[in-house]
């Protein structure tokens, strides 16, 4: 036997190579590959069977959802992400969460977070094994004698979670919805260079989104990007947004600590530094202000164009007073400490930013959008500028810095606007979140085992939502109707 033949034979027994070959077969030919996996004995079926003793299964009226995610904060007690899923038990019959990762973090058993919420972990040695291992976990944990437990499969990202969710949806004939909340993949070349697994992630994404029938995005820019790339997706919509304005309004308007002690006046910019960013316009607008050494311009954010924006600051001669702080996990202390927020972006992310800044009392100079025109009055609660008018931004920056009264006026009036106009009701948000997921049941052929029109049983308690105040939707943001106006 030749040396090359021996090498080929040795490769056949390499588990990494064999797993990769299997995955390539699925991605290239959409075939079904069976992989078995030893799983820990779960108590889920036992607990659910106890529930069935007092419930008439045929009269169930709320759906059961399986979420697939890579966010390991779901496992942290008290974390906001874990609490988010626990709160969903109010609107869903059951909530199952599978957390994907690499070996070393997995739980010994499934964990019951609350009465109707379970979390499981799946971890593999090799990244490309995750979709198959997750399907095996679903087979072992959720496929009971009366059938597969979940009615809907939801992938929380378009990468390995989506690949796993797709395999599960195909195996058990369940509808799939994919959530896309990050546009890091928009520049695929840069994305691949960030991590060695990212080339696989792109393959997962393209494979699943070419077949997905229901997709939700966190921003309008992402929705437009996916609509352009994957024209076949008819059920493509924004996820509902929740603004915890009550908590923000409760914060003191003056920061406890000044995080910019080196400047006497600080202009802040927060945004994704991608090809869609308008930071170049903001840099041009603040340039006249930065002739004064005590004024600083702070940029929070990261992205593929960060290097180019730094070079632009050097060209403009303002790099000594421009601070690039990167993508911070909690920009709130910086928002509270800034003297002014400059918003030249018009994306849905920047709409969220404007609402948060107004709620904490940070004065804002911003580009006009329908939401902002409806909420704020130019010169009273904020300064509004035509989005592409750099000179208008520069002029209003100069007017603001030369009028001490505007800082207090804008802060007080903007907080009043948020308090009176932005709807802050977590119950309504959860209902909207449920509705956007369950929409997938009406867009495809629903398996007979999923009853979407059945009556309510005596043991089930319907969700009673509070009487909502009159509201209008402007670009996906729910806003209270001002007094004296009809809905």
pLDDT confidence of residue 275 = 86
Q: How confident is the model at residue 119 (pLDDT cuts 50, 70, 90)?
A: very high
Q: How confident is the model at residue 40 (pLDDT cuts 50, 70, 90)?
A: very low
Comparing 152 with 58, which gets the higher pLDDT?
152
pLDDT confidence of residue 176 = 97
C-alpha angle 426/428/434, rounded to 5°? Answer: 100
What would the two tokens of residue 12 be? Answer: 């056949």
For residue 322, give the H/E element and its range. Answer: strand 322-326
For residue 24, give the H/E element and its range. Answer: helix 15-29
Question: What's the Cα-to-Cα distance from 126 to each of 23, 52, 75, 107, 395, rounded to whole Å?
Answer: 11, 38, 22, 18, 56
Question: What's the Cα-to-Cα distance from 456 to each of 49, 90, 267, 373, 440, rounded to whole Å?
Answer: 19, 15, 55, 44, 21
Comparing 134 with 470, which gets the higher pLDDT?
134
Does position 161 have pLDDT exceeding 60, yes or no? Answer: yes
Q: How confident is the model at residue 345 (pLDDT cuts 50, 70, 90)?
A: very high
Q: Round the average pLDDT of the chain to a whole number and report it.
A: 81
Does position 115 have pLDDT exceeding 60, yes or no? Answer: yes
Q: What is the pLDDT of residues 350-378, one digit of tens each?
A: 888 999 999 999 999 999 988 888 889 99
- Residue ranges of domains in the chain, CATH in brackets: 51-241+425-470 (3.40.50.2000), 245-421 (3.40.50.2000)
Q: How confident is the model at residue 77 (pLDDT cuts 50, 70, 90)?
A: confident
For 346, list phi and psi in degrees, rounded to 5: -125, 15
pLDDT confidence of residue 144 = 85
pLDDT confidence of residue 61 = 76
Total Cβ atoms within 10 A of residue 377: 11
């Amino acid at each position: 036997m030749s040396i090359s033949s021996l090498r080929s034979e040795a490769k056949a027994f390499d588990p990494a190579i064999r797993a990769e070959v299997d995955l390539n077969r699925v991605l290239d030919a959409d075939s079904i590959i069976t992989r078995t996996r030893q799983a820990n004995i779960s108590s889920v079926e036992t607990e659910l069977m106890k529930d069935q003793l007092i419930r008439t299964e045929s009269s169930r009226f709320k759906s059961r959802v399986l979420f697939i995610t890579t966010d390991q904060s779901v496992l942290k007690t008290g974390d906001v992400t874990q609490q988010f899923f626990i709160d969903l038990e109010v609107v869903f019959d059951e909530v199952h969460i599978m957390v994907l990762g690499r070996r070393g973090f997995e739980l010994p058993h499934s964990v019951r977070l609350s009465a109707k919420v379970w979390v499981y972990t799946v971890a593999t040695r090799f990244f490309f094994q995750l979709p198959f291992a997750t399907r095996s976990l679903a087979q072992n944990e959720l496929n009971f004698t009366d059938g597969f437990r979940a009615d809907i499969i939801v992938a929380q990202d378009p990468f390995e979670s989506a690949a796993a969710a797709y395999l599960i949806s195909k195996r058990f004939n369940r509808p799939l919805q994919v959530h896309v909340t990050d546009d890091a993949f928009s520049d695929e070349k840069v994305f691949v260079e960030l991590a060695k697994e990212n080339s696989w992630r792109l393959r997962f994404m393209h494979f699943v989104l070419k077949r997905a029938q229901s997709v939700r995005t966190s921003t309008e820019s992402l929705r437009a990007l996916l609509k352009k790339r994957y024209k076949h997706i008819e059920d493509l919509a924004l996820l509902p947004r929740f603004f915890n304005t009550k908590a923000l309004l409760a914060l003191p308007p003056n920061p406890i600590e000044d995080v910019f002690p080196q400047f006497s006046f600080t202009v802040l910019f927060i945004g994704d530094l991608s090809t869609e960013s308008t930071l170049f316009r903001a840099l041009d607008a603040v340039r006249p202000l930065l002739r004064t050494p005590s004024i600083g311009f702070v940029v929070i954010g990261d992205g593929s164009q960060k290097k180019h924006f730094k070079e632009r600051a050097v060209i403009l001669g303002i790099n000594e007073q421009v601070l690039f702080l990167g993508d911070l996990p909690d920009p709130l202390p910086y928002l509270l400490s800034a003297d002014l927020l400059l918003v030249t972006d018009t994306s849905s992310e920047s709409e969220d930013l404007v609402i948060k800044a107004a709620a904490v009392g940070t004065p804002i100079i911003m580009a006009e959008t329908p939401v902002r025109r409806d909420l704020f009055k130019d010169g009273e609660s904020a300064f509004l500028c035509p989005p592409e008018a750099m000179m208008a931004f520069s002029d209003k920056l100069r007017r603001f810095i030369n009028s001490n009264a505007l800082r207090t006026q804008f802060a007080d009036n903007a907080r009043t606007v948020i308090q009176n106009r932005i709807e802050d009701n977590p119950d309504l948000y959860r209902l909207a979140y449920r509705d956007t997921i369950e929409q997938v049941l009406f867009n495809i052929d629903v398996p007979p085992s999923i009853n979407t029109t059945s009556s309510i049983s005596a043991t089930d308690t319907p969700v009673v939502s509070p009487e909502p105040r009159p509201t209008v939707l402007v670009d996906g943001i729910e806003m209270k109707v001002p007094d004296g106006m009809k809905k």
